[in-house]
Amino acid sequence: MTDKYAVFGNPIEQSKSPEIHHAFAQQTQQSISYEKVLGQVGNFSASLDAFFADDNAKGCNVTVPFKQDAAKWVTQLSPLAKAAGAANTIIRLENGDFRGDTTDGQGLIVDLLDQDYKFSNSKILLIGAGGASRGVVLPLLQQGVAAVDIVNRTATKAHEIEHMFEDAKVTGFGFDELNEQRQEYDLIVNCTSASLSGDLPQLSENVLCKAKFVYDMVYQATQTVFIEKAQALGVAKTSDGLGMLVGQAAYSFYLWRNVMPKLAPVLTMLRAKL
Ligand code: ATR
């Protein structure tokens, strides 16, 4: 019987996950099915119960607004998912347990590795202090980076993340404080959704122009305003977040199938359709 997978969300129509996972399956010669399922808001555990009642259902992805519910439904959580209080991937284990994991942050790592980024001892700035930013801190620390600075419009939220990690490598800032320091970063990641509305975070040009690599988690058919700005300031290397989307899916696929697909062919396919 074919192993069965799905992505749950609400709404779900826009999800590219089935297309991505079918491409991974073809590339790695795995036989799987992968569908989109509209989850029940307020009774999400019923959606998961129904899906996993079929023994062929081996795992699923979970997206907005169900990631916290998924973390509560599973019987065990990875350390990352536990720290985030959210799961975007569920894996049915041989012993009947269901393991919740989160691959969102790992998606950034997978994409950056694919782009030959050298994490070791590098200095990173994250802009934004929401779930997207919080989710990448631990995966970055695990890669051996020297520092993760977090700057946010609401400075208290950046300080909260600093206190949550209790690691000398993690420091929170408001924009004024950070802009004054004029530090140099190997990588600056825009973890806000500001680009979606054409807005730029209040990071000074003096800081942005010195970055070696600028990454925007947002992706669009055209270049994001943040990437445009970085390029105009002469930043040599830039990337939007399409690779992170493919990277988080690839890591889920790896958790289920124990084989890591290549990102490049899938990225090319998706980029052509944006
Ligand atoms: P997510 O979980 O996707 O990260 P979120 O929790 O809503 O989303 O967080 C969005 C982050 O982007 C926040 O840090 C927000 O800043 P505030 O905490 O000050 O609200 C930041 N953000 C959103 N739009 C922004 C903008 N136009 N300029 C600067 N920061 C912005």
Are residues 229 and 116 part of one domain? yes
For ligand 1, what atom is nearest to the CA of residue 132?
Answer: 4
Q: Do 203 and 182 touch, CB atoms closer than 8 A? A: no
Are residues 199 and 74 part of one domain? no
241 lines ligand 1 (CB under 6 A): no
Are residues 120 and 134 part of one domain? yes
The answer to whether residue 8 scores a pLDDT higher than 90 is yes
Q: Do 64 and 86 touch, CB atoms closer than 8 A? A: no
Sequence letter at residue 134: R
What CATH code is carried by the domain that includes residue 174?
3.40.50.720
Are residues 113 and 222 part of one domain? yes
Domain that residue 207 falls in:
105-240
Q: Do 236 and 117 touch, CB atoms closer than 8 A? A: no
Are residues 132 and 204 part of one domain? yes
| Residue 76, helix vs strand vs coil | strand
With 0.75 as the threshold, say if the pTM is over it: yes
Q: How far is the CA of 129 from the centre of ligand 1 (A)?
A: 6
The answer to whether residue 1 scores a pLDDT higher than 90 is no
Are residues 202 and 118 part of one domain? yes
pLDDT in tens, 58-78: 999 999 999 999 999 999 999
Nearest protein CA to atom 27 of ligand 1, as residue: 194
Nearest protein CA to atom 6 of ligand 1, as residue: 130
**Average pLDDT, integer, range 94-114:** 97
The answer to whether residue 27 scores a pLDDT higher than 90 is yes
**Average pLDDT, integer, range 26-46:** 97
Are residues 170 and 141 part of one domain? yes
Nearest protein CA to atom 3 of ligand 1, as residue: 132
Phi and psi for 137 in degrees, rounded to 5?
A: -60, -55
Are residues 164 and 229 part of one domain? yes
**What is the per-residue DSSP string for 193-242?**
SGGGGT------HHHHTT-SEEEES---SS--HHHHHHHHTT-SEEE-TH
Q: How far is the CA of 5 from the centre of ligand 1 (A)?
A: 31
Are residues 167 and 94 part of one domain? no
The answer to whether residue 189 scores a pLDDT higher than 90 is yes
The answer to whether residue 37 scores a pLDDT higher than 90 is yes
130 lines ligand 1 (CB under 6 A): yes
Q: How far is the CA of 220 from the centre of ligand 1 (A)?
A: 18
* Residues forming the active site: 67
Are residues 110 and 80 part of one domain? no
Are residues 165 and 134 part of one domain? yes
201 lines ligand 1 (CB under 6 A): yes
What CATH code is carried by the domain that includes residue 26?
3.40.50.10860
Are residues 227 and 251 part of one domain? no
